[in-house]
Amino acid sequence: MLAGSFAFEESDPAILLQALPAFMRIPVDESVSRVLRGTLEVLDQEIRSDRMGASLVTCRLADVLLVQALRAYIAINGAESHGWIGALSDPKIGAGLRLLHRDVSRNWKVEEFARAVGMSRSAFVLRFKTLVGVPPLDYLLRWRMQLARDLLRRNANVATVAFRLGYQSESAFGNAFKRTYGRSPKRYCALERR
């Protein structure tokens, strides 16, 4: 038996943890389990060895194993019930999510997302909401606020964060942050730095 854990730098990994299943079962007879077996064999060899760099290789293989397990689980069970992680495997919605993540500061319109991935607006919104669990612009807001919290924790100033995330003013950013987290960015910073 092999057990492990992952630690997150950010103090709020909720966006990831909410998308993960509580338990993943990948039957050995599934074709996708072959790649997992190979990674587990290499991981086992590294754990048992005292060769140079074994701990580094072990950590990286654990990351690879997590991604491979998620891929296998989604391949077996389908993307529909696994939030934005499953949505990444959908050709159209995954492409939309990658666009959003690459250019989070852009003033996105739903029509632009839909056009960029070759879908109608209504079909894109329906498929996005089905897979991700929230409409596209709600997801964008949540993602921006996650990034904002991370930047503020790293001592970025509020105006810089607002601009970096696509807000035209510190006030507009502050209002969005307060709606999401119940306090202003400056108040959040003051509490975090105590």
Reported as a single tens digit per residue, the pLDDT across 70-112 is: 888 878 877 665 667 778 888 899 999 999 999 999 999 999 9
In which domain, by residue range, is 186 found?
A: 138-192
In a domain, 19, yes or no: yes
**CB burial class (10 A; 0-12, 13-18, 19+) of residue 51?**
exposed
* 94-123 as b/e: b if 16+ CB within 10 A: bbbbebbeeeeeeebebeebbeebebeeee
Same domain, 127 and 146: no
Element (H, E) at 191: helix 185-192
- pLDDT of 10 > 60? The answer is no
Looking at the structure, tell me whether residues 92 and 129 fall in a common domain: yes
Which pLDDT value is given to residue 42?
A: 93
Residues 61 and 28 grouped into a single domain: yes
For residues 39 and 26, state if they share a domain: yes
CA dihedral sign, ordered 120, 121, 124, 130: negative
* Same domain as 70, residue 20: yes
Q: Are residues 18 and 58 in the same domain?
A: yes
Note whether residue 4 is domain-resident. no
Flag whether 8 is in a domain. Answer: no
* pLDDT at residue 88, rounded to an integer: 80
Tens of pLDDT, residues 12-36: 566 666 667 777 788 888 888 899 9
More confident residue, 1 or 37: 37
Q: What percent of the chain has pLDDT over 70?
A: 89
User: Does residue 115 sit within a domain?
Assistant: yes
**129 and 143 assigned to the same domain:** no
Residues 162 and 142 in one domain: yes
| 147 and 122 belong to one structural domain | no
The answer as to whether 147 is a domain residue is: yes
What φ, ψ does residue 184 adopt, rounded to 5°?
-70, 160
CA distances in angstroms from 57 to 1, 43, 49, 159, listed in the order given: 19, 8, 11, 40
Residues 49 and 88 in one domain: no
When divided into structural domains, the chain yields a total of 3
3 part of a folded domain = no
> Which pLDDT score is estimated for 167?
94
- The mean per-residue pLDDT over the stretch 165-188 comes to 92
Residue 144 and residue 172 in contact, taking contact as beta carbons nearer than 8 Å: no
Instruction: Check pLDDT > 80 for residue 134.
Output: yes
Token output for 191: 């509490």
| Token representation of residue 84 | 């934005």
Q: What is the pLDDT of residue 9?
A: 59
* Residue of 48, 80, 87, 41 whose CA lies nearest to 64: 41
Identify the domain boundary among 57, 77, 97. Answer: 77
CATH code assigned at 178: 1.10.10.60
Note whether residue 118 is domain-resident: yes
Note whether 137 and 129 are within 8 A (CB): no
Residue 1 forms part of a structural domain: no
Q: Are 43 and 90 found together in one domain?
A: no
